[in-house]
Structure 1
Amino acid sequence: MNGDTSPIRVAIVDDQELVRTGFHMVLDAEPGIEVVGEAGDGREAIRLAVEASVDVMLMDVRMPGMDGIAATAEVIATRSAPKVIVLTTFDLDEYAFAAIRAGASGFLLKDVRPQDLAAAIRAVHDGDAALSPRVTRRMIELFSTELPAPTDRPAAPSPIDALTPREREILVAIAEGLNNGELAGRFFLSESTVKTHVGHILTKLDARDRVHLVILAYEHGLMSSGPAGGRP
């Protein structure tokens, strides 16, 4: 948070009041996190994003009326857009992947442990992503059915060309689902150096976060050898 000591302002969006209350109680016990609002549907979520100065929004993906997919796209488009973490009851929920494609920065199951929920909120607030390697690989698999093969793309300048060879390697590893500690181990770098590289990659590719980097890596053919970069 770049030295900022203000609490992370969180909003909870879910059509079930009991779920909202449960998350609210969990987050009230976490230092440095403040719940600033709740919403029961997507339209209320958009209002909260505009009016409540939210940093991170927990967004239920399946709601009556405006669902979490449409709401995420609208929330991300607001002037002071919060980061969005989508919530789902089912692992590998394709509705949740659609919300991630719409701009969400993370994916959590509703039975997430309190400490993992708080860690995900802090990570997303700091520009990281709340995605496990398994979810990242499945996301790439789903996107690969929608994207043209790299050989079908006309030759054109690519933002990937602005990356150094090391930055390109790190981008591929991010798309495989590696976190900063794992990146440091693979490339024999300090975590602070890894964070610097990741920051440069985000800036050069004009990417909103690491989830966006995963999408860009696949769209530009860097993962054409298959999910997880061909690793077993």
Structure 2
Amino acid sequence: MTDVPPYRVLLVDDHALVRAGLSALLDAHPQIQVVGEASDGSQVVELALNSDPDVVLMDLSMPGTDGVTATRELLSLRPQTQVLVLTSFSDRDRVRDALAAGAIGYLLKDSDPQDVVAGVIAAARRGSPLDPRVARTLLTEGTVGPPPPLSPRERDVLRLVAKGMANKQIGRALGISERTVKVHLGNVFRRIGVQDRTSAALWAKENLPDT
């Protein structure tokens, strides 16, 4: 057993269920203590000043102050804090912006729970935990250009995904087969750097007009 005090962690996510799950997961580890929770980036600085965390586990997409802005503001006042991003998005721009703001690592929400625990401990020890998919994004940044723009049909499909429609419903609405919808979605996921429909829908709401 180690006599090192538990690493103090502040959770930042706008979904209460996500915070509850992360809190239970992390508090169960003897080397981690959750010392606070924030539902919006605007709360981060004050909570961090009061709770003195070693690591802030930071979501990026939140109402009000987003995670990148919150990271920048926090580190301007507490540069010793390690900010570890935990988000659904792995597109190049988000990764680059988060790391430029000072985040030490970047994990995805569909990671194995034990990888999140290991990432928090690594961040507390001044490591730089990166999801392999994020690492690939960074490694290819110098050799490939930005993601190509979505075609009009891909945008149509993505907008309907954001409305909660299933593939069969999307096919009927657009007059295409369900198989063609799946092909379009696969292309969309790769181009915008997400792994699932929920993340794609969130991306669409933020990046496509009239969604």
TM-score (norm 1): 0.56
1:87-108 C-alpha deviation (Å, 9 max, x unpaired):
2113336324311111001111
Match of 2:36?
Answer: 37
Match of 1:63?
Answer: 62
SS of 2:117's partner is helix
Match of 1:17?
Answer: 16
Match of 1:103?
Answer: 102
Match of 2:118?
Answer: 119
SS of 2:97's partner is helix
CA RMSD of aligned residues (A): 2.3
SS of 2:77's partner is coil
Shift, 1:45, TM fit: 1.0
SS of 1:107's partner is strand
- The correspondence of residues 1-232 of structure 1 with structure 2, limited to 5 A, is 5-79=4-78, 81-92=80-91, 94-142=93-141
SS of 1:77's partner is helix
Shift, 1:47, TM fit: 1.1
Q: Quick one: which amino acid aligns to residue 87 of structure 2?
A: T
Distance 1:106 1:87 in 2: 9
Shift, 1:14, TM fit: 0.5
Gaps of 5+ in 1: 147-232
C-alpha contact 1:49 1:78 (8 A) present in aligned 2: no
C-alpha contact 1:57 1:85 (8 A) present in aligned 2: yes
Shift, 1:124, TM fit: 1.1
Structure 1 segments (4+ residues) deviating >6 Å: 143-146
Distance 1:124 1:144, change over 3 A: farther
C-alpha contact 1:50 1:80 (8 A) present in aligned 2: no
Distance 1:87 1:133 in 2: 14
Q: Quick one: which amino acid aligns to residue 64 of structure 1?
A: P
Distance 1:133 1:14, change over 3 A: closer
1:176-226 C-alpha deviation (Å, 9 max, x unpaired):
xxxxxxxxxxxxxxxxxxxxxxxxxxxxxxxxxxxxxxxxxxxxxxxxxxx
Match of 1:183?
Answer: none
Distance 1:82 1:143, change over 3 A: farther
Indicate the structure (1 or 2) with the bigger Cα radius of gyration. 2
Distance 1:89 1:133, change over 3 A: closer
C-alpha contact 1:49 1:81 (8 A) present in aligned 2: no
Q: Quick one: which amino acid aligns to residue 123 of structure 2?
A: V
Shift, 1:80, TM fit: 5.6
Distance 1:101 1:80 in 2: 14
Shift, 1:33, TM fit: 0.2
Shift, 1:138, TM fit: 1.7
Distance 2:142 2:73 in 1: 21
Distance 2:112 2:144 in 1: 32
Q: Quick one: which amino acid aligns to residue 110 of structure 1?
A: K
Gaps of 5+ in 2: 146-211
SS of 2:111's partner is coil
Shift, 1:114, TM fit: 2.0
Distance 1:145 1:59, change over 3 A: same
Distance 1:6 1:32, change over 3 A: same
SS of 1:31's partner is coil
Match of 1:220?
Answer: none
Distance 1:103 1:35, change over 3 A: same
Distance 1:93 1:17 in 2: 27
TM-score (norm 2): 0.62
Shift, 1:135, TM fit: 2.0
SS of 1:36's partner is strand
